Amino acid sequence: MTSRKLPILVVAGVGNGTGTGASTARLFAKNGYRVAVVARNPDSLQKLADDINSSGGEAAPFPIETYTHDNVKSVFDAIKKQWPNDEIRAALWNAGAGVWKPFLDVTESDIRQSLENNVIGAFAFARESILAMKDLELNENGKKGTLLFTSATAALRGNVVTSAFAAGKFGQRALSQSLAKEFGKQNIHVASVVVDGQIATGRTSSYGSADTPKLSPDSIAKTYLNLTNQDSSAWTWELDLRPSSEKW
């Protein structure tokens, strides 16, 4: 009797373990996924994996120095080696780099940082995710897998200090839309989530006043799980999330 293959979620970008990537990893683990967490901070990565494992889930850390094509491919190869009998059914690109400066203060290094993280890294991650999914059988929702992107308001409109950041996020949004159109017909669901507002993490707790509305990373994670569970008759490409009191 053949054992049932378990679904794997790959999450790139978990920060300090208190934000969207970490919440998504924890939620998917509770819903039967093996979770591969990928990030540039090995200490936070290991702590998150240990936390998931001690809570009854299964997770493994995969540190990465930079999100180059070669490094991302090596990480995916390591994930497949870790769980050779299971299938990558969901992937979340949650890594990014923010640059908020007046245009004349933006340096070449700032532009490279934004594009390397928000565009080049996203391309590499999307490529390996799609390669891992494209030959799988359809699951109970009529799809081979789901590829998610964490996006931002800067993907929709620029502002006075977002020239470098918006350039990267516009590129990422265009990538996700292109992939949704190309691979939706091949039963791979691609979706982009615009996060319009601050996320309540350990990094942002001191930003603004106590009354500043913030998004719960656990609530964002629930949206990601819902997107992954959408059946092929009604797929979302893009949606936006914001606190009820956010001005927009």
Q: What is the pLDDT of residues 9-37, one digit of tens each?
A: 999 999 888 999 999 999 999 999 999 99
Dihedral (CA of 118, 11, 139, 230) sign? negative
- Which tens digit of pLDDT belongs to each residue from 103-134? 999 999 999 999 999 999 999 999 999 999 99
pTM of the model: 0.94
Residues of the chain with pLDDT under 70: 1-3, 203-210
Place of tokens 């928000």: 118
Contacts of 30 (CB under 8 A, 6+ apart): 55, 56, 57
Residue-by-residue DSSP string for 83-107: STTSEEEEEEE---------GGG--
CB 8, CB 87: distance < 8 Å: yes
**What is each CA distance from 239 to 19, 185, 191, 223, 226, in whole angstroms?**
19, 20, 8, 10, 12
